């Protein structure tokens, strides 16, 4: 066994719940076809809002996936996370994991936001607060639900609450835990649910598009709020080889930086520093990167800043920069975890997913965003960007296994 097999981290399972597809096969088809998850909100009454378009996971039936937990006991974010975790271990003998030391690290922006909305509604209307919903307000419950669903007890189970880059944070946490022998496997990802107050907050900031999310487009108007979960099973290459696990991709490395600059606006230098840090950690040269999965929210400021930072790191001929949120909406803490799975699928299936809803690239962005149609491509390395309010940046690099 090569010595570094114990430090190389690979993806051996993936589970995804998204507005464009549930499960890897459906999600891959959605990415290839450039599906849109947008539609009128059903999770809350959108009467009186300036718009009603969101990206919900329609017709989600958690009982199809959950075996140990009763969906009625869970909030929607935990349902997503536990279902995605089930999918991620579908090929794995759980008895193997249960005998090992593990990490369950799940990112979120808003935790069980629908429970908080419902509790507040009850309070405003003078009704008693539901104790079950109240117990779910502690956000760690999302990670505990994942562990319980999979029957894992010898695990550190917690939630990373670093807003919209939280999924990438959790993946990075898993990478370090495995590289340094703190865990023998890691179940990592992100989950969030559509919520009225999130919709209200982004509307108040003027950051919501009325019809469609158009990253890097001259006429882009903002985000659509979304939801879902992405969960990955990570282990060392040595572990995956020893148990004959299917290897989807390698996690080459990651970077974390904090802008420490502004509560909601991104910083070009903070983002560029994060990309460089991730490339260094991965031991990857910029010219090896086949495309970058953008944070790409579709707001004026984010997209321009992200493109400027990309150019700072990659020079004047950067790789394609794809805005998956054009299809998925902004799934908040789940966004970068779902995008991470898209990156792995792009590596294994040989295509670059498109930026849909695209009409005319903004000259201030000036990137190849792979407009509207997926592109066939042999890829070796893919970069996944995640940025957050508060200036919390996390960038992860994935490599094709055997590249």
Partner 1 sequence: MTVITGWSAVSAHGRGRAAFLAGLGSTPADPLVPDVPATPGQGGVRLDRASLLALAALEELVADVDTGDRAGLVLGTTSGSLHTEMEHMRSSLTEKRPHHLDPKTIPSGTMNCAAAQCAMRYGVTGPNTTLAGGTGAALHALGYAARLLVADRADTVLVGAVEESTPSRTAVEHAAHGVRPLGEGGAVVRLERAGGPRPVLAEVLATHGVLGPPETCATALLRRAGLDRSDVWAVLGPVEGFPDAVTRRLPEPGLGDTGAASGAFALATALGRGEPGEHVLVLAHDADGTTAGALLRLADSTGEAQ
Residues 141-180 that bind partner 1 (CB under 8 A): 141, 144, 147-148, 152-163, 169, 173, 176-177, 179-180
From 91, 130, 211, 287, residue interacting with partner 1 (rule: CB under 8 A): 130
Whether 182 is catalytic: no
**Separation CA 113–CA 141 (nearest Å):** 12
Whether 295 is catalytic: yes
**Given the complex with partner 1, which of 290 and 391 has the nearer CB atom?**
391
**Separation CA 119–CA 126 (nearest Å):** 11
What is the per-residue binding string for partner 1 in 278-307, x denoting contact by CB under 8 A? ------------------------------
- 398 close to 249: Cβ distance less than 8 angstroms: yes
Residue 256, interface with partner 1 (CB under 8 A)? yes
Least distance from partner 1 to the Cβ atom of residue 124, Å:
5
Site residues for partner 1, 323-362, by CB under 8 A, read: none
- Distances in Å between the Cα of 331 and the Cα atoms of 84, 90, 94, 140, 155 are 14, 24, 28, 18, 26
Number of residues that bind partner 1 (CB under 8 A): 76
* Stretch of 81-89, 138-146, 239-247, 309-317 contacting partner 1, by CB under 8 A: 138-146
- 105 close to 142: Cβ distance less than 8 angstroms: no
Residue 192, interface with partner 1 (CB under 8 A)? no
Catalytic residue selected from 330, 343, 344, 369: 330
**Given the complex with partner 1, which of 51 and 241 has the nearer CB atom?**
51
* Stretch of 58-66, 87-95, 128-136, 296-304 contacting partner 1, by CB under 8 A: 128-136
Q: How wide is the angle at C-alpha 191 spanned by C-alphas 186 and 196, nearest 5°?
A: 165
Contacts of residue 201, Cβ cutoff 8 Å, sequence gap at least 6: none
Contacts of residue 223, Cβ cutoff 8 Å, sequence gap at least 6: 202, 207, 208, 209, 213, 297, 298, 299, 325, 329, 330
Whether 330 is catalytic: yes
Contacts of residue 121, Cβ cutoff 8 Å, sequence gap at least 6: none
> Known catalytic residues?
164, 295, 330
């Amino acid at each position: 066994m090569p010595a570094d097999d114990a430090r190389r981290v690979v993806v051996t399972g993936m589970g995804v719940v998204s507005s464009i597809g549930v499960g890897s096969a459906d999600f891959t088809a959605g990415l290839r076809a450039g599906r849109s998850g947008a539609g009128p909100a059903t999770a809350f009454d959108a009467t009186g809002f300036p718009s009603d378009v969101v990206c919900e996971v329609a017709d989600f039936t958690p009982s199809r996936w959950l075996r140990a937990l009763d969906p009625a006991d869970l909030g929607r974010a935990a349902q997503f996370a536990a279902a995605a975790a089930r999918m991620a271990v579908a090929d794995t003998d759980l008895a193997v994991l249960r005998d090992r030391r593990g990490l369950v690290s799940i990112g979120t922006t808003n935790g069980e936001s629908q429970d908080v909305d419902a509790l507040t509604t009850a309070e405003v209307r003078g009704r008693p607060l539901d104790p079950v919903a109240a117990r779910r307000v502690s956000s760690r419950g999302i990670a505990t639900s994942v562990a319980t669903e999979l029957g894992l007890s010898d695990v550190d189970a917690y939630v990373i609450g670093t807003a919209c880059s939280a999924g990438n944070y959790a993946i990075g946490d898993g990478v370090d835990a495995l590289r340094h022998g703190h865990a023998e496997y890691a179940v990592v990802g992100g989950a969030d649910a559509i919520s009225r107050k999130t919709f209200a907050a982004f509307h108040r900031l003027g950051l919501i598009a009325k019809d469609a999310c158009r990253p890097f487009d001259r006429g882009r108007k903002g985000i659509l709020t979304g939801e879902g979960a992405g969960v990955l099973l990570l282990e060392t290459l040595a572990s995956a080889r020893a148990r004959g696990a299917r290897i989807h991709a390698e996690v080459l490395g990651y970077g974390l930086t904090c802008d420490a600059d502004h509560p909601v606006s991104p910083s070009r230098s903070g983002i560029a520093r994060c990309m460089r840090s991730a490339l260094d950690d991965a031991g990857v040269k910029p010219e090896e990167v086949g495309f970058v999965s953008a944070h790409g929210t579709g707001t004026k400021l984010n997209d321009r800043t992200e493109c400027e930072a990309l150019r700072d790191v990659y020079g004047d001929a950067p790789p394609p920069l794809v805005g998956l949120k054009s299809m998925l909406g902004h799934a908040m803490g789940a966004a970068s975890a779902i995008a991470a799975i898209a990156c792995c699928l792009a590596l294994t299936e040989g295509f670059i997913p498109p930026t849909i809803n695209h009409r005319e690239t903004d000259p201030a962005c000036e990137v190849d965003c792979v407009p509207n149609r997926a592109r066939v491509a042999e890829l070796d390395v893919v970069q996944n960007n995640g940025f957050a309010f508060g200036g919390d940046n996390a960038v992860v690099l994935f490599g094709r296994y055997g590249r």
